[in-house]
Structures are given as C-alpha cells and as structure tokens.
Amino acid sequence: EDKVVQSPLSLVVHEGDTVTLNCSYEVTNFRSLLWYKQEKKAPTFLFMLTSSGIEKKSGRLSSILDKKELFSILNITATQTGDSAVYLCAVHTGNQFYFGTGTSLTVIP
C-alpha cells in the first residue's frame, strides 16, 4: 500500500528560527514529490522534486529529495509569522497523488 508520512505533526517556533519538515514515502511507480502550503484554504504549490540531491530554493524555503532513502525535507530559514500554515507533502505515482497528513507550523512573534 502506498503511503506518505510527515513529521513532526505540529511545530511551534519563534520568528527567526529555522525549521526542518520531514516527508518519507513508500510508493510504487514514483514520479515526483511535491510540497504544498495550506493556509486555511486551498493548498498552494511550493516545489516539485524528481531527482535526488538537487536542492530547490525559493527565497527562504528550500527542499531536497533522497530517492535512495525515500524521503524529502523542507527547510524554512528565518521564519516569519506569515509562514504559519500546514505544509503538505504529496507523492505522484502513476496517475494518482498520495498526500501526507501535513505538518502544522506556528510561528510566534
């Protein structure tokens, strides 16, 4: 059975801290891994990763994939209150997408 597991389930940090969110997966027919941000509404796309070891960056956010160990991490440096959200990891396999349960991040001023 295909599955995606995210950790931690929730995280509370202070502004300026750096956080690392984890996503591990066990799927057949892996195509890509995607990260989304969800702020009490529809998820919005952050990154898509298909190759191991190649870091994707967007401002203070970065992500990397390890296809041998079957996991990905999402790093957020110098966190801001606007980073407070649920971060979702999804794996694209065949014609379907499997989502993890998400990590809820709260950034305190």
Where on the chain is the footprint of other proteins (CB under 8 A)?
Answer: 4, 31-32, 34, 41-45, 48, 88, 90, 92, 95-102
- Minimum Å gap between C-beta 45 and other proteins is 5
- Minimum Å gap between C-beta 90 and other proteins is 7
Which of residues 14 and 41 has its CB atom nearest to other proteins in the complex?
41
Q: Whole-angstrom Cα distance, residue 26 to residue 37?
A: 22
* Edge-to-edge strands, sheet with 71-76: 3-7, 19-26, 71-76, 61-66, 56-58
- Minimum Å gap between C-beta 54 and other proteins is 15
For the four alpha carbons of 47, 3, 71 and 6, in that order, the dihedral sign comes to positive
Which of residues 34 and 76 has its CB atom nearest to other proteins in the complex?
34
Distances (CA, A) of 53 to 2, 24, 50, 63: 23, 15, 10, 10
SS3 83: helix
Which of residues 67 and 92 has its CB atom nearest to other proteins in the complex?
92
- Minimum Å gap between C-beta 10 and other proteins is 11
Which of residues 29 and 80 has its CB atom nearest to other proteins in the complex?
29
Look up residue 69 and give its amino acid.
E
